Structure formats: C-alpha cells, structure tokens
Structure 1
Amino acid sequence: MGADRRHPGRPPGAPHPRQGRPADWRNTMSTTMSTTDFAAAQWTRATGAGVDPHEYRRVTDGLASVADWGPSFLRTGHDYLRRAEDAGSPLSAGEYLLTAARWFHLATLTPYADTAHGSAEADQALSRALTLLEPGARRLSGDGFTGWLRGPADPAGTVVVVPGLDSAKEEFLDLVDALLARGLAVFAMDGPGQGVLAATTTFVPDYERVVGRVIDALGVARIGLVGLSLGGYFAARAAALEPRVAAAATVSGPFLLDWDELSPQLREIMARRAGGPDAAREFAGQVDLAALAPRITAPLLVVDGEQDVNGGVTKGEALARLAPRGSYLPVPHGDHLLGNARPDWLPHLCDHFAHTLTGTPA
C-alpha cells in the first residue's frame, strides 16, 4: 500500500491534522484538544523518535482523553520492561529497553504529564539498555549536564547532541545511531531544564558554559555540536562563544523568539522549564542570534522544515545567511523536527559532521 495521496508520506490510516490548521501545530497543544487531534499533532515526532507507527496508533486510539496520554504511554513502556525481563538474549532485552525509553519519554509531552516520573523512567531504561548493548558506553555527568558517551574509544571526531524545549536524550536515538555508523563518538545529553534534569534545574541563557563543561568532561580538543528545536539555539549560541566547537548544525532551531506572539501552550511549556512565566519571558527575550551568528566561524548546517509553522518563532534561514560558513537546507514538506522527512536531511547532516571532523570526502 502507498502513502495517503492527500497527505504525501503518511501511511494509510495514520492520524492526520484536520483541514484549516497550520501545517505544524504539534507544539500548540491545548488542554481542550481532542485525543484524535493531539495524537495527530504528535504523530511524526513519535515515529521520528523511533516508536512503531502501528503500535502508536493502537495506543492512541484507546485514549479516552488527552489526560490519559501519560499513563497510557507509561503502561506501554512498562510492557517493554516486562518483555526485557523475559527476553531470550541480552540483545533482545536491550532492544526492548530502548523502546521502553522512547515510550517513557513520549509520556512527558502532555500538559497533564508527570514529567519527572516519565523522564526518570526513560533515563533508567536507556541506562539499562546501553549497559547490555554497549558495555563501552560511559555515563558522564557534571554541573548542568548528564548523558551517555557512545562510540569508539579513539574516534576521529566527537559530536554532542543537544535536545530542546521538551525533548531529551532519549528522543534522538536514530540521530545518534546514524552518527555512530560514520565512526564518530556521540555524547547525547540532557542540559538544565531538559530530560531527567528538568525535575531539579531550569533553563539557563548561557548554555555555552554547559557545553564548555561537557567538552572538559569529554577530554577532547574539539567537538561537533548539533541542536534540535530550541536546542538549535543553544547549539548556535555555543558555536559562537565556545571556540572548541569545530562543526555545528541546527534542526528546526529558532533564530528569534517573540514572546508576545508565541502560542499560550508554548509559553506554558517554557514557563515550566524556565522556572515560571516571568523567567520564561526573560529567557525568550534572549533568544536572538542576530549578533551571535556572525561569530560562528565553524562550518554550520541549518535544517528547517518549511511546513514548520509556529507563531512568534523565526526559523533559521537568517542564521545560515549571517554565519560566515553557514549553509541552509530547507525541506519543503518537512515539519517541526522533520520526523516526516528523515531521508531528506539526516544523512546529509551526519555527513556534514563526518566530513568536517574527520576530513573524509563529503
């Protein structure tokens, strides 16, 4: 069977946005949104994170209300923990644990979610998975960061993956795998206000200091840095102010935020992560790369989905134009985080780092 012709790239029967809505409105979540609409809004984000699309549909079809999202996704994650316990091999157990980590993270995405619980469960499942699957993987934690370093012991290059507003290190396992496949080491992290650290910390404007401490902990002279969604701002800022960033990329990252134009739902999420509405407004006012972009001397790839539409968010074209070595990759049918367009940007982004950090041909 092919894709739905009215919605290219969407499998038949998959949730889809209703007519008349913005092309990307996944982050404009509402406490009054129907379960069908909410599941449709999270569709490409969830499948882009690696959950099975058929299982996603089965789980979301069974929701009576959006309030049931978190508990249902947590139950699905626990089902995978039980499968891991009953698995016939460490490999199977590890694979089940990785899937559990994805579901636990996705459980945190609703306004009703017990974010601390879901993030802790995701973190624990990922830790157990990597202990089984990659005995050489190392947990690194420090002031304002925690995460996992994976890959060869003596890599040609190391890439740090920075999550965004309500994402976490468990959301981008496919990106990590693609970078690992190119012989790079990868540190996927949670920073202040992100992932498992969201329960005890809040966003900081000077994220470059966190990146600097990460580089110190890694013990390397230079890194690649990729940020996703709001993490794109963090990565671009760090690339401008931390000289050890040798290559950078942003995916759906903001160039500028206008607090007054942001949706109430985005402001609510930011307030939870920043420490309250006043702190969130102040933080949003600092998200402006106009002065910093010309200071990014490292090769910079900026990826945007042209169907990513959120009021108050200026996308990355200006960043690519102002950065001395910036390049811009717009994907016409891509939405926020481009979970519906993986082949159109993911290989290119990973090759960008492989070429820049190792000198291999592009």
Structure 2
Amino acid sequence: MTNSQAANSSVNSVPFGAFEYFPDNLEWSTQMLRLFSYCYVRGADFSEVHSVAKALPVGDDAAWQAGFSKLAHSIEADARESAAGGHDITARDAFLRATIYHRISGQLADISGASEVAPGLEDSVRCFLEAARRMKPAFVPVEVPFQGASLPGYLCVPDVADGTQLPAVIDFGGIDAWAEEQYFKIGAALAERGYAVLLLNGPGQGAAKMRGIYGSYDFEVAAAAAVDYLEGLVEVDANRIGLIGSSLGGYFAARAAAFEPRLRATVIWGAMNGIDPRVFDEKAASGRRGSRIRQLERFLGVEGREALIEHARKFQLGPDVMGNVSAPVLVMHGESDALVPVSDARAVYDDIKHPDKALKLYPAGTPGCAHCQLDALAIAQRDICDWLDDQLKP
C-alpha cells in the first residue's frame, strides 16, 4: 500500500467540501486543487496538469513524481527555447509554470533525514530565479540578517516617485513552504497593488532549513528580523508594515501579531492554535501521518517522539499569547479544512482581545472551504488584499 492509500484509511472526518479530482484520495485531490488554483496566477495550465493526472495510477506516489517531473522539464525546455529567441515574457511565463510543476512533483515524496530535500525543489528554485529576473517589477533575491546568519527570500519594490514611501507586507508560508511558491499565493497580487513585498524563508523553511536554520515556536524573532530589514529601506513606510502567514504560517502570524508591536496589520491565513502532543502516539509511524511527522522532524531539526513532544508543548497559543495582540488581525479559515479544524480559528479569534479583529469563515461546499483556500485563490487574494488596503493604505 502506498503512502497516499494509507492516508485514506484515516481521512479527517470533516467533509472535503471542494472539488475532488480523485474522489477516493484526499491527499492527491488536495494537491490537484493546489495546481488548479495556480492556473489563476499563471503558475499552471489546466490542460497540462490534466494531461498528466488523468493517466496516473491513483495512489502511486512514484508515478506522480515521475509524471509531473517530466512535465516540469518539458515546460522548462520550452522556456529556455523562448528565452534563446529573445521572447522574455513567454519565457517568464513558462519558467513560472515549470517552477510549480517541479515543486509539486516532489510534494508526495516520503523523504527522511533532517537535511533531505524533496525531489524537484532545487529545480523549482532555479526556474523561479529565471522567471523573477524577467519580471517588472522584479522579485530580487535578498538576505535578511537573523541571529548571526541570514534568512533568504525575495524583495519586490514597485516603482515609485522619489521620496514616496510604500506600505510593505511580509509573507511566510507553512511547514513545507518555500518563498518561491509564496509569489503565486499572494506575492504577485500584493506587488500589483503597490505594496513592497518581502517573501521570506523563515526558520525551518526552504533554503533557510537547508542552511541548518530550523523552526521554533517563537516565530516572532524571525518576524522582528523581517521588520528590522524593511525599516532599513528608504522606500518603505515603517509605520505601515503588515504580515501574512499561511498554513503553519498561520500559527507564526499569530505569534508575530502578539509579540511584534511594530506590525500594523496581520493576516492569519489558516489558523492553528498549536500542536497537540498526542499526535505523536505509537501508531503514528506509518502512512501519510508518519510522513507528516517526519516532515515536522525536518522542520524542527530533531528526531524521535520525545523530542517532538517537547517542542509541541511550546507550540501553543491561547489567551496568554493572543491577549498581547496590539493591532488589527484578520483570521481566515475554511470549514472543510482537512488538516486543521475550524475550531482552531474560532479559538484563536476569541482569544484576541484587540477590538479590531475579523473572522472570515468559508462554509463547506463554497469557494474557499478547503485548507488555506487552496480551492479558491482568487477569493483568498480578494479578501486578504482588500482588508490590507483598508488597514495599511491612507
């Protein structure tokens, strides 16, 4: 039995609520939603994705990897041909799709070891760099000083008149996030609306993890480093800095909102009230659940049940944390989230005592009901960007 098949023997009891490309496989359907959602932002093409997915033996993770890796290399070759012919916009768009196809090809790989990297990710970064240098405005690789080292990411500063200062937004993803993918989820939408955008690999994420900078419960330290960096840019208005965190990044964003007072607005995109130590019971070693636990080990840079439990006890929010929030917060959550129950969103929202708070729930069966609105990126971008406009633009 493959990892994905095993996952379906213990599927979350919450109805999926969104389009199921593979009705008998929650994990595969979730990843297909991810791909179809990126069609909205030129990160994928429906026909290209369907041409691969329709021929896959459902639940065969190795076939998934091979199929989407082949597609990624084919689209990357098209991009290089266009670039060689001087067709930079065509090349940019193809490199963007190759970025996502390389990324998704290794999404279901069950890898082990703290330093291991999922197949396709380094190819994905390479393709994004090719696309980024053809963008206007460009997303430029940057290093944010952090605890004697630095966190890698990308900065985009839209063109402005001399002396004009822009509102800025820091964006982090979740446990398996790479800053490159955040461009598609929200980065490009923010830049188009005139924000300076910092897409960052936080501790335990992407290239930061590859450098040995592992995740920790006190994410506000990384958020503070990001704010410090933005405050040093002459183009940025230090009094109009916001932050977005999605998936496990929703927990990060909550910590940042509670302990980084320089943030003027925070979006918790998929709330998470903490990590329940009980998930690391003796039956958790196999199947997709076991794969996610090994993913958490890589994120934290630890191995073993006892070490995970020790960390999990620190990954908790509650009123003692959220009672410190001092600026507006938007909490967003899908009622059919198969990874984190909607009760977490309600608990996080209720624990915030600041009067300027909003809770946006997406009912089951409607666009946005899946985890972090994977099924409706257009809806998520609308709700996030309009709310940030109201908070950060004069």
Query: How big is the alpha-carbon RMSD for the aligned residues of Structure 1 and Structure 2?
Result: 2.9
Q: Which residue of 2 aligns with 1:94?
A: 92
User: Aligned equivalents of 2:120 and 2:267: distance in 1?
Assistant: 28
Distance 1:358 1:148 in 2: 22
Aligned match for 2:191, one of 173, 180, 185: 180
Amino acid paired to 1:253: A
Deviation at 1:174, TM superposition (A): 3.9
Once the two structures are TM-superposed, the CA of residue 184 in structure 1 deviates from its matched residue by 1.0
Match 1:68 to one of 57, 63, 72: 63
Q: What are the Cα deviations for residues 119-174 of structure 1, in whole angstroms up to 9, with x where unaligned?
A: 22222211111111236432111335211111315552111110101122233314
Structure 1 counterpart SS, 2:71:
helix
Matched, 1:248 2:276: no
1:285-343 residue CA offsets vs partner (Å, 9 max, x unmatched)? 22221121111111100000000133788522222222213210000031111121334
Q: Hey, what does 1:40 align to over in structure 2?
A: 29
Q: CA deviation at 1:96?
A: 0.9
Q: List gaps (5 residues or longer) in structure 1.
A: 1-16, 26-32
Match of 1:125 in 2: 127
TM-score (norm 2): 0.77
Residue 203 of structure 2 aligns with an amino acid whose one-letter code is: P
Q: Cα distance, 1:181 vs. partner?
A: 2.4
How far apart, CA to CA, are the structure 1 residues paired with 2:24 and 2:128?
28
1:1-362 → structure 2 map (5 Å cutoff): 22-23=13-14, 38-49=27-38, 50-64=43-57, 65-87=60-82, 88=85, 89-112=87-110, 115-134=117-136, 136-142=138-144, 143=146, 144-153=150-159, 154-172=164-182, 173-201=184-212, 202-218=214-230, 219=232, 220=236, 221-222=238-239, 223-261=241-279, 263-275=289-301, 276-277=303-304, 278-290=306-318, 291-310=320-339, 315-323=344-352, 324=354, 325-333=356-364, 334-359=369-394
Call closer, same or farther: CA 1:75–1:35 in 2, change over 3 Å: farther
Letter in 2 for 1:230: L
Greater Cα offset, 256-265 or 156-165? 256-265
**3-state SS in 1 of match to 2:216:** coil
Change (3 A) 1:338 1:95: same
After superposition, the Cα gap between the structure-2 partners of 1:24 and 1:246, relative to the gap in structure 1 and judged at 3 Å, is: farther
| In 2: Cα distance, 1:244 partner to 1:24 partner | 39
C-alpha offsets along residues 253-289 of structure 1, whole Å, 9 cap, x if unaligned? 2012213147444323212222223443333222221
Secondary structure in structure 2 of the residue aligned to 1:249:
strand
Q: Across the two proteins, how many residue pairs are aligned to each other?
A: 336
Maintained 8 Å contact 1:70/1:108: yes
Residue 177 of structure 1 aligns to which amino acid in structure 2?
A
| Structure 2 unaligned spans of 5+ | 1-7, 17-21, 281-288
User: TM-score with structure 1 length normalisation?
Assistant: 0.83
Q: 1:169 is matched by which residue type in structure 2?
A: A
Which has the larger displacement, 117-126 or 63-72?
A: 63-72
Tell me, in whole angstroms, the C-alpha distance in 1 between the residues paired with 2:311 and 2:46.
Answer: 35
Given residue 43 of structure 1, which amino acid in structure 2 is its aligned partner?
M
Identity %: 26
**Cα–Cα, structure 1 residues 251 and 81, in superposed 2: closer, same or farther, change >3 Å?**
same
In 1, the alpha carbon distance for the partners of 2:248 and 2:380 equals: 18
Q: What is the alpha-carbon distance in structure 2 between the residues aligned to residue 81 and residue 284 of structure 1?
A: 40
